[in-house]
Structure 1
């Protein structure tokens, strides 16, 4: 993004920061800070909840990932990443079942009821790592956007975005996140429509070429689509941002917000991914997504793209802060239930994310590559415990958790080039093929452990 007008972008970002701070309410109640309710005790409506769901799930990292997958693997890569947004459908099913069939007030409450502290410990460890990694990944995207201005400007931009989102999140908690998400989603949607429009009117744009851009069924994009379809059941449960929004409104509002968020977010990700396909078809995969898109669309379009990335990063980070506060104070109960302790948890998360970025790593995927794989330990929980209502031994959860953690670590080591175990055992070479192998292995082992756990408890008359 060498032609990016940094001064103009900076002015736009400052304006967005001022608007977000001005829009954020000063919350005085615990329900307002941790649940997003108004001062009079009213939960958010369908529109607010839908826009918040969409903008918090269209991470800056997600936009780049969709574009990069389209650039390298064509339409298959875009469809694969879009498939993950089916998590809104499975997420609605999970929260609805938890709340209105099992009567749980949170995911942690259900896991404690079924698996004791073992269940909550495993779950809290996973989502704590995810929350921290989201701060890291989105700040890193901010650094990439401002990289053309030099390292000092890039670092300053990351610190500034972290600080501004922290300020208004600390003032208003989840209530502030919901209100600013609505504004950010409207602006983000407009930016994405503009970008897609720039591509559609370009003389080199060909809808037919995009449709047939992944002709080989062995393409890594199609393999990743298979992985996404296998992971989409468990993926939403390990995202506290989505789960938190599934427990704050009535049943009808929650259902409609999840269903509308599904089609709206899928459209946004698909649209951005098509920019990657367009760039790849006209560049030959030589220069990279952003570098090849710049000469095609020009400096004006790249400024719009940069604004979209900053918006998506900010909207995700304020939601991560509010979810962290709720996790530490409400769900884990580590400290007294107060906004003050929630704000301290937010500060710790912001500092942790900044440290991860500023120590020198520049791998966008390093901290998040394993989250979907690690979350697979929740798939048997969803099938056996949440959907079927079966009582399962705690050892089954521990075995499945161990499989998922081991599998995610092995995949990370394989993808980073440290080991070559999966290739040696199976003969597959591409990282997505290895990911598919790991996914199937974890799911098969986890389902088997839970099936055995059910039968043993029944024979033992209900003892674990």
Structure 2
């Protein structure tokens, strides 16, 4: 498939997204996702929106890259993060049973403005990472298809996603997610069937493949995912926002369906990376260059198109969640359409700027973000699940430990940080950081809760 055909098809999808986005939106629809008649989204709108915003371009690339280097262990390690739909659904239902309308509602009632400020800082960074990491993939693909077009493509896709997001906010994100996910599933299914039917492909070999670097580090990442999977969804505003749009039965079902659909897509995409390692193909351009030489042109085109569609679907959802964060939680702008649009513009500009300047190591964004979220694990388990009173100082100690852990992983090559980290591969260092963060967080939260309980008893 010629690069011009792939780009042309993507432009058609962009135009279709603009067409299905609402031309007008109420304030409630912009921030709460209700239809023009005031109805909440239905089950499959929620499912497809959850899936398409979580199997975004960065995730698909991560799954394939980890499959290439660490075989089935690497792909399964990344797929393990999608158990976040199970833990996230559980957290949402506990929050709703508690009478909370968001994570911030619950944190604010327990820890006041300081608790919310600490949390909102983390999710603001998360939203920025969503924007720039997906735009990175857009740049990589356009650069591979049409050398020298990276910057233009990044700016154009960001601008067009911003344009239709500004029209309808969360309502626009939900509508376009359904369209984009339907297209993604068809295009990706075609590519996956072609891979599975290829005479060079063996499912048994893929499911036992060690990858080009051996499977050990893939299993290390599996343990990291297990440690992060409870807190990870709670710091993702896109997932959490969709947990409070419909009734509880619809919400519960949407999280369960989103889990198995997402996990299958991630494992399926990982097979393309595993196959590249089994064929001994060299690693080029985050695997994009590798696939260009491995597969027939139409299969390669389907892979690129599915990546571009998934990037687009995440951008509009990240921008709608950013508007809700700025307007409804931080109250830095009026609760109006223009207030929400101004917030979207700021995040789009900041994310695009980071893309044009930042790192292209895709998994590092997940690792840093996941580590930063881990302060929520002891706080939610002890405070929400066990219903114990946790003092503010315990919360802030857990938060500080997670922030320092995330910073340490990000700056691991810096000599003062390298001196305190254990020797070994960066993923082994990440595992050690996660263990320390959890130990410090649980120690502070459990000790603080016991002190509160003993004072109340006395």
TM-score per shorter chain, which class? over 0.9
Structure 1 residues 15 and 218, CA gap change in structure 2 (3 angstroms): closer
- Please, which of 195, 202, 213 is the counterpart of residue 198 of structure 2? 202
Verify the 8 A CA contact 2:70 2:214 in the aligned structure 1. no
Verify the 8 A CA contact 1:24 1:176 in the aligned structure 2. yes
Q: Which runs of 5+ in 1 are unaligned?
A: none
After TM superposition, list the pairs within 5 Å mapping 1:60-71 onto structure 2: 60-71=57-68
The answer to whether 1:177 aligns with 2:186 is: no
1:254-284: CA deviations, max 9, x gaps? 0010000000000100100011111111126
- Distance in 1 (alpha carbons) for counterparts of 2:88 and 2:73: 24
The answer to whether 1:72 aligns with 2:69 is: yes
- Distance in 2 (alpha carbons) for counterparts of 1:460 and 1:308: 57
The answer to whether 1:450 aligns with 2:445 is: yes
- Please, which of 353, 369, 372 is the counterpart of residue 371 of structure 1? 369
Verify the 8 A CA contact 2:34 2:41 in the aligned structure 1. yes
The answer to whether 1:134 aligns with 2:130 is: yes
Verify the 8 A CA contact 2:58 2:133 in the aligned structure 1. yes
- Please, which of 109, 112, 135 is the counterpart of residue 113 of structure 1? 109
Verify the 8 A CA contact 1:25 1:175 in the aligned structure 2. yes
Structure 1 residues 440 and 98, CA gap change in structure 2 (3 angstroms): same
Verify the 8 A CA contact 2:89 2:243 in the aligned structure 1. yes
- Distance in 2 (alpha carbons) for counterparts of 1:218 and 1:147: 31
Match of 1:57 in 2: 54
**Matched residue SS, 1:374:** helix
Structure 1 residues 251 and 148, CA gap change in structure 2 (3 angstroms): same
State which drifts further: 124-133 or 380-389: 380-389
**Matched residue SS, 2:99:** coil
Structure 1 segments, 4+ long, off by >4 Å, are 149-152, 215-218, 284-288, 365-368, 420-425
After TM superposition, list the pairs within 5 Å mapping 1:413-452 onto structure 2: 413-414=411-412, 417-419=413-415, 426-427=422-423, 429-452=424-447
1:77-125: CA deviations, max 9, x gaps? 000000000000000000000012x100111111010011111011000
**Matched residue SS, 1:346:** helix
- Distance in 1 (alpha carbons) for counterparts of 2:457 and 2:325: 31
Match of 1:252 in 2: 249
Structure 1 residues 446 and 424, CA gap change in structure 2 (3 angstroms): closer
- Distance in 2 (alpha carbons) for counterparts of 1:189 and 1:388: 40
- Please, which of 231, 234, 252 is the counterpart of residue 234 of structure 1? 231
Match of 1:104 in 2: 100
- Distance in 2 (alpha carbons) for counterparts of 1:194 and 1:39: 35
Verify the 8 A CA contact 2:327 2:333 in the aligned structure 1. yes
- Distance in 1 (alpha carbons) for counterparts of 2:297 and 2:332: 49
After TM superposition, list the pairs within 5 Å mapping 1:295-306 onto structure 2: 295-306=293-304
The answer to whether 1:154 aligns with 2:150 is: yes
Using the TM superposition, give the Cα deviation of residue 28 of structure 1 relative to its aligned residue in structure 2, in angstroms: 3.2
Structure 1 residues 81 and 360, CA gap change in structure 2 (3 angstroms): closer
The answer to whether 1:320 aligns with 2:315 is: no
Match of 2:339 in 1: 341
Using the TM superposition, give the Cα deviation of residue 367 of structure 1 relative to its aligned residue in structure 2, in angstroms: 4.4
- Distance in 2 (alpha carbons) for counterparts of 1:133 and 1:425: 25
Match of 2:406 in 1: 408
The answer to whether 1:283 aligns with 2:280 is: yes
TM-score (norm 1): 0.94
Structure 1 residues 37 and 364, CA gap change in structure 2 (3 angstroms): same
Using the TM superposition, give the Cα deviation of residue 292 of structure 1 relative to its aligned residue in structure 2, in angstroms: 2.7
- Distance in 2 (alpha carbons) for counterparts of 1:315 and 1:270: 20
Number of matched residues?
Answer: 456
Using the TM superposition, give the Cα deviation of residue 39 of structure 1 relative to its aligned residue in structure 2, in angstroms: 1.8
Structure 1 residues 422 and 223, CA gap change in structure 2 (3 angstroms): farther
Using the TM superposition, give the Cα deviation of residue 432 of structure 1 relative to its aligned residue in structure 2, in angstroms: 1.1
Match of 2:80 in 1: 83
Q: CA RMSD in A?
A: 1.9
- Distance in 1 (alpha carbons) for counterparts of 2:378 and 2:53: 26
- Distance in 2 (alpha carbons) for counterparts of 1:286 and 1:130: 28
- Distance in 1 (alpha carbons) for counterparts of 2:287 and 2:333: 45
- Please, which of 4, 8, 23 is the counterpart of residue 11 of structure 1? 8
Using the TM superposition, give the Cα deviation of residue 363 of structure 1 relative to its aligned residue in structure 2, in angstroms: 3.7
TM-score (norm 2): 0.95
Structure 1 residues 212 and 399, CA gap change in structure 2 (3 angstroms): same
Q: Which runs of 5+ in 2 are unaligned?
A: none
Using the TM superposition, give the Cα deviation of residue 360 of structure 1 relative to its aligned residue in structure 2, in angstroms: 6.1
Match of 1:460 in 2: 455
- Distance in 2 (alpha carbons) for counterparts of 1:120 and 1:424: 31
